[in-house]
């Protein structure tokens, strides 16, 4: 959510930003907010003048009562009562207008960074750099579900009976490898100086609307029937929500945390679920990182964070690339974002395994998170980034470490989490 000062003072900037995001249908909202805000400010001025008049009359009533001028005092009392009634009406109208402004402000997108490439959708995202050689071996690499099944590691048929499409059982060494990835991601981030956290896996609606747009919420999140609770789609939501309403001493910034959670997503829309495989499912696990910092330090942290994900996947012997997300592909709360994509030697193309975003003060405004500075209280910046989400990370590892004999070479960094095993072989 942007600062309303931008609409008061730089409406054209806000409109130009909306055009860059190809959301022209939102342009009239800027003028609507401006006009509503003008009315609120007029009501405030009127209310302030009435309160001043009421205070003066109240002072006069006391003086008249002391001088035994009862009739004059009673006349002023009636006038004060009328002012009080008028103030109630003004305050009700003010609240009504402010509520409307708030609703619209939640829809107007955050001002994107000047470096963001302009484009309509993810097809116009820009490749930044490749890391590692994207090799294609001289033998066939099976579909990842077939690899898992050949190693007795996947049962989607049983999951279909217990839970439906979009769920799975991981078994044996494949399940262990899956958890090894998560455990290594945890320790990797702790070694980077981040504080480890396991957050709540359900959050209230006021936290949901504080961290994401309504459109994202409807498309992603499962609501618990009869309760004001949602299953999280990523631990970033509850991790940022942890600081809701807090005033943080700027000397304690940056706050750097890494969190583990299961994640639950509807996966509705054009992409849909993957019938056989594990790429797009209702349930997965994730190691996330979040940073709360001074706004001036946000871009420095943004660059650090996506580089951590690149380093993590290179340690798994997985080639990756980074993509700069274009303006039309940015969610409304984001200032700047990039994707980390892993190489698929089977498909001979890259696929998304992580996303890094800086949201400026958008989430902080929605959730009321401020920092205490010598100049006063100010909103801080929030950032989030995927260390690894798996099974998607598992898919990247399996394909890039698949051997001609059907075994899986276990990267050295994961071997301690696998009891020293160097490979998974068919039994």
Q: Is residue 37 part of a domain?
A: yes
* Triad 325, 328, 331: Cα angle to 5°: 75
In angstroms and rounded to an integer, the radius of gyration of the C-alpha atoms of the chain is 28
> What percent of the chain shows pLDDT beyond 70?
98
Q: Which residue has the tokens 């000397």?
A: 251
Residue 250 lies in a domain: yes
Question: Which residue range is the domain that position 83 belongs to?
Answer: 4-105
Q: Per-residue confidence at 62, pLDDT binned at 50, 70, 90? A: confident
- Structural domain includes residue 333: yes
pTM here is 0.90
Question: What is the rounded average pLDDT of the residues 141-168?
Answer: 95
Among 54, 78, 105, give the residue marking a domain's end: 105
**128, 326 in Cβ contact below 8 A?**
no
CATH number assigned to the domain comprising residue 367: 3.30.930.10
Q: What's the pLDDT tens digit per position in 361-417?
A: 999 999 999 999 999 999 999 999 999 999 999 999 999 999 999 999 999 999 999
CATH code of the domain containing 72: 1.10.287.40
Same domain assignment for residues 78 and 34: yes
User: Are residues 201 and 59 part of one domain?
Assistant: no
Co-location of 220 and 361 in the same domain: yes
pLDDT of residue 115: 96
Inter-residue contact 326 to 124 (CB < 8 Å): yes
**Same domain assignment for residues 198 and 72:** no
Of 76-80, 124-128, 260-264, 345-349, which range is least confident?
76-80
Closest CA to 329 of 15, 128, 131, 109: 109
127, 96: one domain: no
Residue 292: CB atoms within 10 Å: 26
58, pLDDT greater than 90: no
Q: Assess whether 294 and 405 both reside in one domain.
A: yes
Specify the pLDDT at position 272: 58
pLDDT of 360 over the 60 cut? yes
In a domain, 113, yes or no: no
Domain match, 96 and 141 both:
no
Q: Number of structural domains, the chain? A: 2
For residues 132 and 44, state if they share a domain. Answer: no
Q: Do residues 187 and 243 both lie within one domain?
A: yes
- Residues 383, 297: contact at Cβ < 8 Å? no
In a domain, residue 58? The reply is: yes
């Amino acid at each position: 959510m942007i600062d309303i000062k931008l609409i008061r003072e730089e409406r054209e900037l806000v409109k130009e930003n909306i055009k860059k995001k190809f959301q022209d249908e939102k342009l009239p909202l800027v003028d609507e907010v401006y006009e509503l805000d003008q009315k609120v400010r007029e009501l405030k001025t009127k209310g302030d003048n009435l309160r001043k008049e009421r205070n003066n009359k109240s002072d006069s009533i006391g003086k008249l009562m002391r001088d035994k001028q009862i009739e004059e005092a009673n006349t002023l009392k009636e006038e004060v009562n009328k002012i009080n009634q008028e103030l109630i009406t003004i305050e009700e109208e003010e609240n009504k207008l402010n509520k409307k402004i708030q609703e619209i402000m939640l829809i107007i997108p955050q001002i994107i960074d000047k470096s963001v490439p302009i484009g309509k959708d993810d097809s116009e995202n820009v490749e930044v750099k490749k890391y590692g050689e994207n090799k294609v071996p001289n033998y066939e690499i099976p579909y990842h579900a077939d690899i898992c099944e050949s190693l007795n590691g996947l049962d989607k048929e049983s999951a279909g009976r217990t839970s439906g499409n979009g769920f799975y059982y991981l078994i044996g060494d494949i399940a262990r490898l899956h958890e090894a990835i998560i455990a290594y991601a945890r320790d990797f981030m702790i070694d980077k100086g981040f504080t480890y956290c396991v957050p709540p896996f359900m959050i209230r609606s006021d936290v949901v609307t504080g961290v994401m747009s309504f459109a994202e919420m409807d498309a992603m999140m499962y609501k618990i029937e009869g309760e004001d609770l949602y299953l999280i789609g990523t631990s970033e939501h509850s991790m940022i929500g942890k600081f809701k309403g807090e005033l943080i001493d700027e000397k304690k910034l940056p706050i750097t945390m890494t969190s583990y959670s299961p994640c639950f997503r509807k996966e509705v829309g054009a992409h849909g679920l993957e019938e056989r495989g594990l790429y797009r499912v209702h349930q997965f696990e994730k190691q996330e990182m979040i940073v709360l910092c001074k706004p001036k330090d946000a871009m420095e942290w943004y660059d650090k964070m996506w580089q951590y994900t690149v380093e993590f996947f290179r340690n798994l012997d997985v080639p990756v690339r980074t993509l700069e997300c274009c303006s039309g592909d940015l969610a409304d709360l984001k200032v700047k974002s990039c994707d980390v994509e892993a190489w698929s030697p089977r498909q001979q193309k890259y696929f998304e395994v992580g996303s890094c975003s800086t949201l400026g003060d958008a989430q902080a405004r929605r959730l009321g998170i401020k920092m205490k500075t010598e100049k006063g209280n100010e909103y801080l910046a929030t950032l989030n980034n995927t260390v690894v989400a798996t099974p998607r990370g598992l898919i990247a590892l399996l394909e890039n470490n698949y051997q001609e004999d059907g075994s899986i070479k276990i990267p050295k960094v994961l071997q301690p989490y696998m009891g020293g095993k160097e490979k998974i072989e068919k039994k």
